[in-house]
């Protein structure tokens, strides 16, 4: 059967598509002469796409919010879908000699990518996540959105309270749902009624109640989503060994959920169910070096391992992987390891606190002199910042290594 590959560039409310049965010899000429398809995100549009009878649909999952509906409808019809990383597609499109990025060029590049015999390996396409992982990710992103909604509302309320109810504005009310419920007129409180009568402020503005009601609605939605998220991850049998490890490390529910979206299943980072380690000779020194490939893939997924971009004598490193995981690890490190005021008996946390203390002392002036100029070396504040940055990077690398092998060992013993 002839492969009918449909490359689709998914836009907001529509897709631009290119159907190929073989790899074109001159992609640039094909781009100039081909009559691209365009379908709206409607029932008729989806049906018109399916009427082309593709055997495979290739897409770029950059606009997750509006690509998910297309992909779900296509897969429901029994057609295989494959996703290409946007960085790989960008490089591939340039290699085809296509013009500046546009929807038509992307759809043609996607179709060519699937038909290219050089793009058939394991790493050519993105691995599909199980539906339950996608749902965990959706709920985690919703909680992130609610956090961003709550902050400006709370800040506005506190500013108003400085004028209207200054005694309460100085209190830490962020974790006081009773106060916000009372302020919204949804809960009774004799205590706050009495304090309001005795205030030296000007009294509550009418707008304050509206803002407080918006905040309490966010809090209710947040509580409901956390309940659903906890039920989802704790009742799924395949998550249990992962959760045992993450719980031992002291990660909270939200942190566990975000990490699970990237590290599950762990088999994606292994080769034939085993940790992949290879020996090869260094191009620069000629000496034998060990490549921990499974570990490296894991580190990149959680945003710890940077991507290298060398050009001549210039060596650059840029962040790669999940920014949410990177933020989660930073939160865990800041609250569990660096904040010594929090007492703990967690053996892993205590171990990394000692490693962090040693790392902070290790990065002396001699160690960082090649990173800063002399004027910066004279500034103790900046030097302290450089030391702290290096120590944190060192800890993140150690944490990723230990976490990976803890997960591997837990899955083996499960």
Q: Per residue of the chain (414 residues), what is the pLDDT tens digit?
A: 578 999 999 888 889 999 999 998 888 888 888 999 999 988 999 999 999 999 999 998 876 677 888 888 898 999 999 989 888 888 888 888 887 678 888 999 999 999 888 887 667 888 888 889 989 999 999 999 999 999 899 889 888 888 888 888 766 655 577 888 888 888 898 988 898 888 888 888 888 899 999 999 999 999 999 999 999 998 899 999 999 999 999 999 999 999 999 999 999 888 888 888 888 887 777 788 888 889 998 998 898 877 766 555 556 666 677 788 888 998 898 888 888 788 888 899 888 888 888 777 766 544 444 444 444 434 444 445 556 777 788 888 899 999 999 999 999 887
Beta-strand ranges (E) seen in 62-143 are: 80-83
Nearest to 41 by CA among 72, 62, 79, 76: 72
Alpha-carbon distances of 187 from 68, 224, 238, 411, rounded to whole Å = 40, 19, 42, 48
Read off the DSSP letter of residue 175. T
Describe the crossing of helices 253-263 and 240-249 by its angle, rounded to 10 degrees.
130
φ, ψ at 73 (rounded to 5°)? -70, -35
Each domain of the chain, given as residue ranges in start order, spans 5-119, 132-234, 268-413
pLDDT, position 195: 85
Alpha helices by DSSP H, 337-379: 347-362, 365-368, 374-377
pTM (2 decimals)?
0.80
Q: Which DSSP symbol is given to 265?
A: S
Closest CA relative to residue 108, chosen from 125, 94, 122: 94
Torsion of Cα atoms, 340 then 344 then 348 then 352, to 10°: 10
DSSP symbol at 321? S
- CATH classification code of 5-119: 3.30.420.10
What's the pLDDT score for residue 136? 92
pLDDT at residue 309, as a whole number: 61
Q: Output the pLDDT for position 152.
A: 92
Report residue 404 as tokens. 């990976």
β-pair type (80-83, 56-59)? parallel
Instruction: Report pLDDT for 363.
Output: 60
Helix (H, G, I), strand (E, B) or coil at 246: helix
Secondary structure (DSSP) of 153-218: HHHHHHHHHHHH-HHHHTS--TT-HHHHHHHTTSS--HHHHHHHHT-SS----HHHHHHHHHHHHH
pLDDT of residue 203: 83
CATH topology of domain 132-234: Helix Hairpins (1.10.287)
Distance in angstroms (rounded) separating the CA atoms of residues 54 and 330: 44
Residues 6+ apart with CB under 8 A from 166: 199, 200, 201
Token code pair at residue 284: 């620069």
End-to-end CA distance of the chain: 43
Sequence-distant (≥ 6) Cβ neighbours of residue 104 within 8 angstroms: 9, 16, 18, 31, 34, 36
H-run or E-run covering 281: strand 277-281
Cβ of 307: how many Cβ atoms within 10 Å? 12
**Which tokens in the block code for residue 166?**
């200054």
């Amino acid at each position: 059967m002839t492969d009918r590959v449909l490359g689709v560039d998914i836009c907001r409310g529509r897709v631009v598509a290119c159907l190929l049965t073989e790899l074109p010899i001159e992609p640039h000429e094909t781009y100039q002469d081909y009559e691209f398809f365009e379908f709206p995100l409607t029932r008729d549009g989806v049906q018109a796409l399916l009427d082309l009878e593709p055997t495979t649909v290739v897409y770029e999952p950059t606009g997750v919010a509006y690509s998910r509906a297309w992909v779900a409808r296509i897969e429901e019809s029994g057609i295989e879908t494959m996703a290409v990383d946007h960085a790989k597609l960008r490089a591939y499109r340039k290699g085809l000699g296509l013009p500046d990025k546009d929807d038509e060029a992307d759809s043609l590049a996607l179709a060519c990518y699937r038909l290219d015999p050089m793009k058939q390996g394991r790493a050519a396409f993105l691995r599909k996540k199980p539906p339950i992982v996608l749902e965990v990710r959706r709920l985690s992103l919703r909680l992130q959105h609610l956090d961003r909604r709550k902050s400006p509302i709370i800040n506005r309320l506190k500013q108003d309270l400085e004028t209207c109810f200054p005694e309460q504005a100085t209190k830490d009310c962020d974790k006081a749902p009773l106060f916000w419920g009372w302020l919204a007129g949804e809960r009774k409180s004799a205590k706050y009624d009495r304090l309001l009568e005795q205030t030296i402020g000007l009294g509550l503005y009418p707008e304050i109640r509206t803002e407080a009601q918006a905040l309490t609605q966010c809090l209710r939605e947040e509580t409901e989503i956390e309940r659903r998220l906890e039920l989802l991850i704790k009742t799924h049998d395949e998550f249990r060994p992962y959760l045992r490890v993450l719980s031992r490390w002291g990660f909270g529910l939200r942190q566990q959920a975000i990490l699970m979206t990237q590290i599950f299943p762990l088999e994606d980072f292994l080769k034939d169910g085993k940790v992949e380690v290879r020996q090869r000779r260094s191009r620069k020194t000629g000496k034998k070096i060990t490549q921990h490939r499974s570990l490296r893939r894991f580190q990149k997924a959680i945003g710890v391992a940077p991507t290298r971009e060398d050009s001549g004598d210039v060596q650059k490193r840029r962040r790669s992987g999940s920014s949410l995981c990177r933020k989660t690890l930073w939160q865990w490190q800041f609250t569990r390891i660096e904040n010594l005021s929090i007492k703990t008996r967690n053996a892993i946390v205590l171990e990394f606190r000692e490693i962090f203390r040693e790392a902070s002392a290790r990065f002396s002036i001699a160690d960082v002199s090649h990173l800063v100029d002399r004027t910066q070396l004279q500034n103790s504040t900046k030097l302290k910042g450089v030391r702290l940055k290096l120590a944190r990077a060192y800890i993140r690398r150690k944490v990723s290594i230990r976490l990976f092998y803890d997960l591997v060992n837990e899955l083996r013993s499960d």
